[in-house]
């Protein structure tokens, strides 16, 4: 077991069980709530993989998310009721790269933790309960269809990527969901729900030994079946389409400008890039930026304007988005500002100020148990050393910022996604 | 995690929660007034204008740079609606000074910055800067028009509007488009000054070494005149069940049912209603979730919530247009079951435990520690964690049934998605 001091003075315990399960425990005396998350490195991107003895299989899209719904099913009663009796609230989510099951509770931590691990490691799937779930999931997908930012973003990813499965909705489509069967679900389950592919994080006023005992009872033995090997399609560097437009029942147009880059897998470099790009994007799109001020005062953007940088070992892109009456002009302005930032010079004072901001934000983030735990999971799966945050932050120079702006905002690899209100698209 | 209270005089109160649990010091200030169509819009524009500039930091950019420099201090402001009160909310946090190398200086400077932004906006003549006002008036109008972008939130706001057309409760928290259009800069500025001078002001602080901050605040100047009297909410019986349907191009329909509860926060049987709402639609073990979602597969989301200040209970669900009648039928059956006293010991126990633990968990988040007091604040009676736990624990199945029997369906609203695929 390893012990790490967090920058806020707390002690984090990490290690592996004999079967390969990674765990992290952060005791936080004084907090009322205890929070646990059990996650597997298996998300919507993993719909093509190699099964030992069977070769490469293609499963219907949306299956990771479907499986997440179904693990809540029990032969007798349901999982929600069990947690409810302890006053615990249980939930789950599926992202592109992981599926996570979590709960928070005030009392009965031991029982709740035991139940979390038990239900995730004991699937109960029948033809009937799988069929029944399809209606619920189709309503979930329809809800997202009406969600403007999701639609805008999905269209952007389809424009940026040719083959990377990030193009597809995490939940799949009503058509792909209709093809999901018990056999497919179990195949995915056996392939990816292996201890060596999973992590358990517990945060709150807990006894670490209790956590290890409970986990040890469920994850017995030292064997972990081989985790399926993912097969990712080769993604060309250039974008698929550089301009896409769509319409929806919204009050005002929205525009997103996306820029794709080659993903990097080295953990230290990846975290450093993440922080450096955070600074770059703030120089362009934060309220403290002169560009923000100019675009806002001209009425082109409103306070929905923002930017994000999404980098994992499997995809990497930056996105600038806003509601705007003139999406074409917005796209043009963003590209102009990016060029200006790349040409520099970038001010030392600006970079130092933004480093102070990131430093404060990092300390404040430890106040949210959920955030700390979820963040740990993402960084663990991506291999980024989150607890080296402050060292990495200190190492960032103006030169790093300038270089990242040039490399990771390459306008030759950009795409524009526009969402118009119905009837407004032809101008 | 309860507050100690102290009166700064002239309707200004300070509430302190000293704790070393967090890495931040959080301050929230609320100024409340009666919700009314005209003042709603005038009040709603104030947060946006305060963010545009203060006397020391006369632009959004200068404010943002200062907050970044202060190690991620943050300022925000918004408008809330609780019952028939509208609250101007100021939020401010900073890193606990003891965690920073330049902590004490950082803390003092952060507080001074907050005060400057909240209390000394940059002005022109008898108003805010005209250019800022014009822009924010347009942005506020777009915000209100933009409610349709979130179908669920839109359907809820619309249902409330249709349910309470002649009650202040029917007013949207940012006012109406027509009130925003008619709004003048001088009127908005006067509204801001009146709020500061005459309406109750409550300042909440959560964090470590609060004495230092509290002393700074006590030294600040409030120019107060006589305090205005605030009205209690309108309580009305429904005239009968009304049905409204509207159509938008969307993939999914949203169903809303609005009930009058006849029970409110000040009433002794209020916690019977709270538990009743929990059994009905507050949790994944609740009747609505189990029957509408898990048994009938009609919805992904379905639930209910109570506004105990006004006395309404709202149910909402995202469903397919073809299933509206079926869903309404199931929902009414569930309310009916409660009215008949069909409440199992497990449902009751799970709900009470669930409510208590979600309230207890609020003690882990500075904003929630403050916000859980807001209903008490507008009702003139803040309740401690322990009093609330005891009240919830004491609720019986008969109390829940009684609260359910008092429910009167007032309005059914359907936001119909016209582009649904079968």
User: Residue B202: which H helix or E strand, with range?
Assistant: strand B201-207
More confident residue, B362 or B233: B362
What does pLDDT average to over chain B?
A: 92
User: Residue B46: which H helix or E strand, with range?
Assistant: helix B46-50
Residues 346-405, chain B: which have Cβ within 8 Å of A?
346, 349-350, 353-354, 356-358, 360-361, 363-366
Residues of A designated catalytic = 68
Q: Do domains B4-219 and B242-417 have the same CATH topology?
A: yes
Mention every residue, 6+ apart, whose C-beta is less than 8 A from residue A44.
Answer: A61, A62, A64, A65, A94, A95, A96, A165, A168, A169, A170, A171, A172
pLDDT along chain A (427 residues), means of 10: 88 92 94 96 93 88 95 85 89 96 95 96 93 88 87 96 94 93 94 93 96 89 69 92 93 96 92 97 96 95 95 95 96 97 94 95 92 95 90 96 97 97 70
Looking at residue A427, its pLDDT comes to: 47
Closest CA to B323 of B300, B303, B307: B300
Looking at residue B80, its pLDDT comes to: 96
pLDDT tens for each residue of B264-305: 999 999 999 999 999 999 998 899 998 888 888 888 889 999
Q: Do B252 and A146 touch (CB under 8 A)?
A: yes
Instruction: Please determine, looking at this structure, whether the domain spanning B4-219 carries the CATH number 3.30.830.10.
Output: yes
Looking at residue B292, its pLDDT comes to: 84
pLDDT tens for each residue of B141-154: 999 998 988 899 99
Measured distance CA(B148)–CA(B165) in Å, rounded: 19
Q: Which residue of B has its CA nearest to A105?
A: B357
Exposed, middle or buried: residue B251 (CB in 10 Å: 0-12, 13-18, 19+)?
buried
ipTM: 0.87
Measured distance CA(A183)–CA(A190) in Å, rounded: 11
Measured distance CA(B278)–CA(B285) in Å, rounded: 9
Distance of CA B146 to the CA centre of its chain: 19
Tell if the pTM clears 0.95, that is, is over it: no
For testing contact with chain B, the best of A143, A284, A286, A352 (most B CBs within 10 A): A143
Strand pairing class (A48-51; A229-230): antiparallel
Strand pairing class (A11-16; A22-27): antiparallel
Give φ, ψ of B365 to 5 degrees: -135, 120
Measured distance CA(B222)–CA(B29) in Å, rounded: 13
* Nearest CB partner across the interface for A140, out of B21, B24, B300: B300
Looking at residue B421, its pLDDT comes to: 59
Measured distance CA(A285)–CA(A98) in Å, rounded: 29
Measured distance CA(B307)–CA(B159) in Å, rounded: 14
Looking at residue A223, its pLDDT comes to: 58
For testing contact with chain A, the best of B361, B415, B417 (most A CBs within 10 A): B361
**Domains parsed from chain A with CATH numbers:** 2-230 (3.30.830.10), 243-421 (3.30.830.10)
Measured distance CA(B76)–CA(B93) in Å, rounded: 9
Confidence category of residue B228, pLDDT binned at 50, 70, 90: confident
Per-residue CA distances from A257 to A96, A284, A306, A409, B192 (Å): 20, 13, 11, 11, 38
Rounded to 10 degrees, the C-alpha dihedral A101/A107/A110/A112 comes to: -30
Q: Which residue has tokens 């709004």?
A: B183
Share of chain B above pLDDT 90, in %: 77
pLDDT tens for each residue of B105-154: 888 899 999 999 999 999 999 999 999 999 999 999 999 998 988 899 99
Measured distance CA(B21)–CA(B103) in Å, rounded: 17
Domain B242-417 adopts which CATH fold?
Answer: Cytochrome Bc1 Complex; Chain A, domain 1 (3.30.830)
Looking at residue B43, its pLDDT comes to: 97
3-state secondary structure of A199: strand
Beta strand spans in A168-292 (E): 198-204, 229-230, 243-248, 254-260
**Residue B227 reports pLDDT greater than 90:** no
For chain B, the domains span 4-219, 242-417
B320 close to A (CB below 8 A) = yes
């Amino acid at each position: 077991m390893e012990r790490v001091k967090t920058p806020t003075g707390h002690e984090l315990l990490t290690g592996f069980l004999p079967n390969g399960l990674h765990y992290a425990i952060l005791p936080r005396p004084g907090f009322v709530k205890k929070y646990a998350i059990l996650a597997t490195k298996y998300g919507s991107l993993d719909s093509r993989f190699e099964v030992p003895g069977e070769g490469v299989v293609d499963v219907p899209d949306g299956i990771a998310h479907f499986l997440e719904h179904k693990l809540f099913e029990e032969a007798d009663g349901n999982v929600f009721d069990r947690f409810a009796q302890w006053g615990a609230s249980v939930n789950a989510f599926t992202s592109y790269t992981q599926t996570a099951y979590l709960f928070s509770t005030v009392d009965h931590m031991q029982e709740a933790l035991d139940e979390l691990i038990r239900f995730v490691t004991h699937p109960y799937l029948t033809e009937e309960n799988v069929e029944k779930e399809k209606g619920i999931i189709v309503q979930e997908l329809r809800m997202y269809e009406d969600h403007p930012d999701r639609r805008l973003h999905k269209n952007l990813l389809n424009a940026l990527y040719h083959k990377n499965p990030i193009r597809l909705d995490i939940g799949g489509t009503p058509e792909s969901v209709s093809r999901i069967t018990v056999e497919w679900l179990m195949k995915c389950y056996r392939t990816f729900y292996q201890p060596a592919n999973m992590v358990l994080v517990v945060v709150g006023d807990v006894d670490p030994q209790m956590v290890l005992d409970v986990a040890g009872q469920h994850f017995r033995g030292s064997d972990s079946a081989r985790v399926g090997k993912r097969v990712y399609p080769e993604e060309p560097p250039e974008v698929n389409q550089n301009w896409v437009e769509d319409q929806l029942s919204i009050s005002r147009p929205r525009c997103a400008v996306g820029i794709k880059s080659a993903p990097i897998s080295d953990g230290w470099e990846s975290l450093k890039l993440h922080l450096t790009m955070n600074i770059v994007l703030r120089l362009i799109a934060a309220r403290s930026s002169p560009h923000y001020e100019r675009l806002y005062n001209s009425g082109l953007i409103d306070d929905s304007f923002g930017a994000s940088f999404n980098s994992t070992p499997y995809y990497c892109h930056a996105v600038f988005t806003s509601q705007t009456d003139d999406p074409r002009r917005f796209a043009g302005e963003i590209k102009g500002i990016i060029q200006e930032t790349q040409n520099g010079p970038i001010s030392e004072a600006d970079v130092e100020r933004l480093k102070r901001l990131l430093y404060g934000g990092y300390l404040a983030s430890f106040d949210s148990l959920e955030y700390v735990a979820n963040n740990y999971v993402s960084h663990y799966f991506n291999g980024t050393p989150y607890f080296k945050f402050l060292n990495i932050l200190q190492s960032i120079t103006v030169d790093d910022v300038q270089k990242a702006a040039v490399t990771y905002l390459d306008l030759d690899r950009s795409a524009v996604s526009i969402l118009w209100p119905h009837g407004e698209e032809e101008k | 995690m309860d507050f100690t209270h102290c009166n700064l005089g002239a309707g200004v109160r300070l509430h302190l929660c000293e704790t070393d649990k967090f890495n931040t010091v959080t301050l929230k200030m609320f100024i409340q007034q009666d919700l009314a169509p005209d003042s709603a819009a005038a009040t709603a524009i104030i947060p946006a204008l305060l963010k545009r500039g203060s006397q020391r930091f006369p632009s959004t950019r200068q404010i943002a740079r200062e907050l970044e420099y202060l190690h991620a201090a943050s300022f925000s402001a918004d408008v809330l609606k609780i019952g028939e009160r509208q609250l101007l909310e100021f939020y401010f946090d900073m890193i606990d000074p003891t965690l920073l190398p330049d902590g004490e200086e950082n803390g003092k400077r952060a507080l001074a910055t907050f005060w400057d932004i909240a209390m000394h906006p940059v002005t022109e003549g008898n108003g805010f800067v005209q250019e800022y006002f014009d822009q924010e008036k347009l942005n506020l109008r777009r915000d209100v028009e933009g409610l349709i972008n979130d179908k669920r939130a839109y359907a809820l706001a619309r249902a409330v509007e249709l349910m309470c057309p002649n009650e202040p409760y029917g007013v949207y928290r940012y006012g109406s488009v027509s009130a925003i259009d008619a709004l003048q800069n001088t009127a908005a500025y006067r509204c801001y000054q009146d709020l500061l001078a005459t309406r109750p002001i409550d300042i909440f602080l959560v964090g470590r070494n609060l004495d230092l901050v509290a002393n700074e605040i006590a030294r600040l100047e409030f120019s107060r005149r006589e305090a205005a009297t605030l009205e209690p909410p309108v309580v009305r019986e429904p005239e009968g069940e009304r049905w409204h349907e509207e159509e938008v191009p969307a993939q999914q329909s949203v169903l809303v049912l609005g009930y009058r509860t006849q029970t409110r926060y000040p009433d002794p049987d209020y916690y019977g209603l709270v538990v009743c709402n929990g059994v009905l639609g507050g949790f994944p073990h609740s009747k609505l979730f189990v029957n509408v979602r898990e048994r009938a597969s009609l919805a992904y989301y379905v639930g209910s919530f109570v506004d105990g200040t006004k006395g309404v209970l709202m149910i909402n669900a995202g469903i397919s247009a073809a299933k509206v009648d079926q869903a309404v039928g199931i929902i009414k059956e569930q309310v009916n079951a409660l009215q008949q006293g069909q409440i199992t010991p497990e449902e009751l126990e799970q709900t009470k435990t669930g409510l208590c633990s979600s309230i207890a968990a609020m003690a882990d988040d500075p904003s929630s520690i403050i916000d859980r007091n807001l209903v008490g604040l507008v009702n003139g009676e803040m309740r401690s964690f322990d009093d609330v736990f005891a009240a919830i624990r004491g609720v019986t199945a008969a109390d829940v049934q009684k609260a359910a029997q008092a429910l009167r369906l007032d309005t059914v609203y359907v936001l119909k998605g016209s582009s649904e695929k079968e």
